[in-house]
């Protein structure tokens, strides 16, 4: 699904929800999951365990003039069901866009994963002039879920 300020993709992964969640909550795995090509590495970040945590990623993209860092503020967390964060340029507060992974177990060995990229809360007019949302297209989100399946089923 795509609407004016949000993209939602879903994929059923043949792995237990716990295995999928373990991959998603490890920031070091995110470079391997990135379908956009923006993530280079984790700068710092412990395993995500609660709302309020922050992890920092090393990024690259022409939209930011090359290399940059993001602080990712965890906004949603529920064991084996949900992990979400809002992204901001390092050292700043989130500007309103959010990444959310929702997991729904379909038996012991299958999980439906819904990835939502939502920029509906971005109100900073200067940011909206600089960054043209969506920065990440639907096909890149679908690629991220394909890579998540590879990681979750290889463990």
Q: Is the peptide bond before 134 cis (omega within 30 degrees of 0)?
A: yes
Q: What is the pTM for the complete model shown?
A: 0.93
pLDDT for the residue 66: 79
* Per-residue model confidence as pLDDT tens digits over 64-122: 677 999 999 999 999 999 999 999 989 999 999 999 999 999 999 999 999 999 999 99
Q: Does residue 43 contact residue 57 with C-beta atoms inside 8 Å?
A: yes
Per-residue model confidence as pLDDT tens digits over 15-49: 999 999 999 999 999 999 999 999 999 998 999 99
Give the pLDDT band of residue 130 (cuts 50, 70, 90).
Answer: confident
Percentages (nearest 5) of helix, strand, coil residues in the chain: 25, 40, 35
Residue 1 has pLDDT above 70, yes or no: no
Architecture field, domain 2-154: 2-Layer Sandwich (3.30)
Return the domain boundaries, the chain: 2-154
**Stretch (H or E) spanning 46:** none
Evaluate whether 134 touches 117 at the Cβ level (below 8 Å). yes
Burial 18-37 (b: 16+ CB within 10 A, else e): ebbbbbbbbbebbbebbbbe
Comparing CA positions, the residue from 107, 106, 110 lying closest to residue 153 is: 110
């Amino acid at each position: 699904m795509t609407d004016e300020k949000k993209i939602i993709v879903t994929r059923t992964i043949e792995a237990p929800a716990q295995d999928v969640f373990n991959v998603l909550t490890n920031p070091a795995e995110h470079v391997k999951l990135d379908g956009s090509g923006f993530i280079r590495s984790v700068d710092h970040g412990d395993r995500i365990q609660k709302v309020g945590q922050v992890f920092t990623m090393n990024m690259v993209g022409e939209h930011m003039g090359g290399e940059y860092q993001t602080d990712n503020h965890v906004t949603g967390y529920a064991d084996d069901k949900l992990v979400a964060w809002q992204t901001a340029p390092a050292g700043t507060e989130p500007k309103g866009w959010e990444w959310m992974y929702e997991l729904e177990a379909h038996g012991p060995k299958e999980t439906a994963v819904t990835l939502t990229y939502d920029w509906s809360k971005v109100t900073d007019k200067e940011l909206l002039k600089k960054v043209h949302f969506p920065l990440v297209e639907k096909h890149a989100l679908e690629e991220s879920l394909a890579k998540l399946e590879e990681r979750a089923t290889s463990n």
